[in-house]
């Protein structure tokens, strides 16, 4: 009897302590440690989302926990190009698409552009045509590939195959569009904007994430019925109505979808977590899977190839009836096992664009955290009345690329941006100019104007690299003027407009499947073997909460 009473007393005490702890925890979250005032009180005061747990995983993404690794450690260097000096790097946690962006995903993008900016109208035509993949990349002067030219992008048989024929510039524009559509849907689904608002888009009535955060009253053409028509429109409002819209501090909107950096892509492809022993890695990996060979050692799939790549001269898939890799060109995504981060096709299928401007070296002496070359800092353009400038339908700007293709630089409803000025960078120690693509470039000695003792190379009108200049302009009548650089005095193909691409493709031999291998290609051109996938930065903790898993 005494034991029973003691047990009951102990249980009651434990419950009381638990409730007290919960109350303290709740008070800690909802009360200010600075003033003692309630946070997010119905009566007013400081407005903040104190219930935020952690970042949601965006559509299509998986979580990649950051860590340290040796970047550029190739197993073989038969090319002897000296662009893979091993460097120790640390990557912060981030999210990455579990597969390449597929034809179906890209067709959704094209469909949106065609509906909102009809190419039948002259002023919008280049928005849609500039986003179209180059299907002619499949043509070969000594090969018959017209079936891919006509069908690969649009036929449902290829819906879940990786999109190709997309330039780096087009991949970046897709990423911006995806960011806005995901956040637009989140606002609607959580009851902040009118249900169905996303389907009412017109050139004059669009949604942009950055515009919503910086000039929300101008989003959707300023229609308050769309902006504040949801059943939770007043969730963050105070009595004095100072918080009319969701802000960054509320944690509702996701960070941008973007191309991964080279360091992120290589780290994610290696997936060294399977070789982790306490706080060290056991051995090295040559491929995204734990093996020095391209064939599976698993009893159920022994001998099967682990990726889609070129086996040898004239061998893109194996012998009919029993294929080595099940594909001759690209393969449907998820055709092969994922790596330990849950990422598919990080070797083979298609090579992938990454964000970085190419240089032969990685400057780890200056930075070894989230390494990236290509920063061009800008700021929001401000109007005369002191508000950010949101672009109208008559302010679309286009770029004519070196190959003559015209692409939209921005879309109506987006915020105009301008380069930083000297006043913006005055007395800053971390950066001093807007364009940092050439910062600490260790390859200056290969430039045309390099002089060890003179200052000739510092003249601003002279380019960093003596690479070819192919020009394309469009005159007032719409006539294209294309000029190919036929100079025989060029010394390099490297300049500020070539980007890194990673991973082997269906056209490549096994040598290129090593995640550390790196190559480059002009950012405004496309091929039949380069695709891309998106990444998203992680905000907050390095690891997922123990009670959550990636994808929830």
Separation of alpha carbons 304 and 335, rounded Å? 12
- Give the pLDDT score at 415: 94
Is pLDDT above 60 for 445?
A: no
Domains of the chain: residue spans and CATH: 61-537 (3.90.1580.10)
Is pLDDT above 60 for 484?
A: yes
Please state the pTM of the whole predicted model. Answer: 0.89
Is pLDDT above 50 for 54?
A: yes
162 or 282: which leads in pLDDT: 162
Q: Are 331 and 506 a contacting pair, CB within 8 Å?
A: yes
Nearest CA among 295, 315, 319 for reference residue 305: 295
Q: Are 284 and 274 a contacting pair, CB within 8 Å?
A: no
325: helix, strand or coil: coil
| Dihedral angle sign, alpha carbons of residues 252, 257, 261, 262 | positive
Lowest mean pLDDT among 144-148, 238-242, 318-322: 238-242
Any residues with CB less than 8 A from the CB of 446 and at least 6 apart, and which?
A: 465, 491, 492
386-398 pLDDT, tens digit per residue, is: 889 999 998 888 8
Strand partners, 407: 399
199-235 pLDDT, tens digit per residue, is: 999 999 999 999 999 999 899 998 988 988 888 777 6
Is pLDDT above 60 for 548?
A: no
Q: Are 529 and 519 a contacting pair, CB within 8 Å?
A: no
As a 3-state breakdown, the chain gives helix, strand, coil percent values, each rounded to 5, of: 25, 15, 60
């Amino acid at each position: 009897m005494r034991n029973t009473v003691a047990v009951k007393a102990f249980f009651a005490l434990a419950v009381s302590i638990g409730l007290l702890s919960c109350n303290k925890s709740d008070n800690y979250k909802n009360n200010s440690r600075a003033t003692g005032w309630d946070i997010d009180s119905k009566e007013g005061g400081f407005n903040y989302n104190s219930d935020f747990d952690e970042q949601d995983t965006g559509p299509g993404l998986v979580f990649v926990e950051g860590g340290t690794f040796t970047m550029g450690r190739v197993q073989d260097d038969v090319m002897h190009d000296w662009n893979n000096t091993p460097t120790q790097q640390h990557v912060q946690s981030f999210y990455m698409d579990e597969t390449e962006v597929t034809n179906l995903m890209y067709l959704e993008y094209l469909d949106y552009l065609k509906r909102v900016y009809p190419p039948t109208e002259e002023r919008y035509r280049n928005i849609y045509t500039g986003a179209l993949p180059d299907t002619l990349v499949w043509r070969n002067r000594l090969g018959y590939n017209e079936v891919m030219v006509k069908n690969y992008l649009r036929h449902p048989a290829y819906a879940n195959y990786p999109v190709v024929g997309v330039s780096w510039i087009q991949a970046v524009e897709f990423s911006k569009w995806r960011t806005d559509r995901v956040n637009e849907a989140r606002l609607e689904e959580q009851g902040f904007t009118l249900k169905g608002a996303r389907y009412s888009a017109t050139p004059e009535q669009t949604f942009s994430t950055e515009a919503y955060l910086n000039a929300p009253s101008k989003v959707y053409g300023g229609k308050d019925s769309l902006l504040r028509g949801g059943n939770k429109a007043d969730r963050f409002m105070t009595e004095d109505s100072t918080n009319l819209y969701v802000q960054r501090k509320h944690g509702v909107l996701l960070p941008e979808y973007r191309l991964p950096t080279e360091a992120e892509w290589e780290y994610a492809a290696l997936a060294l977590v399977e070789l982790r022993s306490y706080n060290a890695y056991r051995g090295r990996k040559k491929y995204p899977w734990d093996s020095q060979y391209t064939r599976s050692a698993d009893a159920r799939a022994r001998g099967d190839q682990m990726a889609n790549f070129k086996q040898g001269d004239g061998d893109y898939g194996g012998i009919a009836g029993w294929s080595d890799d099940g594909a001759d060109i690209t393969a449907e995504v998820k055709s092969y096992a994922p790596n330990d981060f849950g990422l598919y096709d990080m070797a083979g299928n298609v090579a992938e664009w990454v964000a970085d401007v190419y240089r032969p070296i990685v400057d780890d002496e200056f930075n070894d955290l989230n390494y990236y070359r290509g920063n061009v800092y800008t700021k929001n353009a401000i109007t005369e009345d002191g508000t950010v400038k949101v672009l109208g339908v008559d302010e679309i700007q286009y770029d004519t690329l070196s190959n003559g293709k015209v692409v939209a630089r921005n879309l109506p409803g987006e915020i105009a941006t301008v380069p930083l000025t000297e006043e913006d960078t005055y007395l800053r120690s971390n950066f001093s100019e807007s364009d940092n693509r050439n910062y600490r470039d260790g390859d200056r000695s290969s430039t045309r104007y390099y002089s060890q003792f003179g200052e000739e190379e510092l003249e601003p009108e002279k380019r960093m690299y003596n690479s070819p200049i192919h020009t394309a302009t469009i005159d007032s009548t719409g006539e294209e003027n294309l000029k190919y650089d036929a100079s025989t005095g060029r010394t390099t193909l490297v300049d500020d407009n070539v980007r890194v691409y990673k991973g082997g493709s269906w056209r490549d031999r096994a040598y290129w499947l090593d995640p550390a291998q790196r190559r480059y290609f002009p950012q405004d051109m496309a091929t039949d073997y380069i695709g891309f996938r998106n990444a998203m930065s992680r905000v907050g903790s390095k690891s997922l909460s123990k009670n959550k898993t990636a994808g929830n």
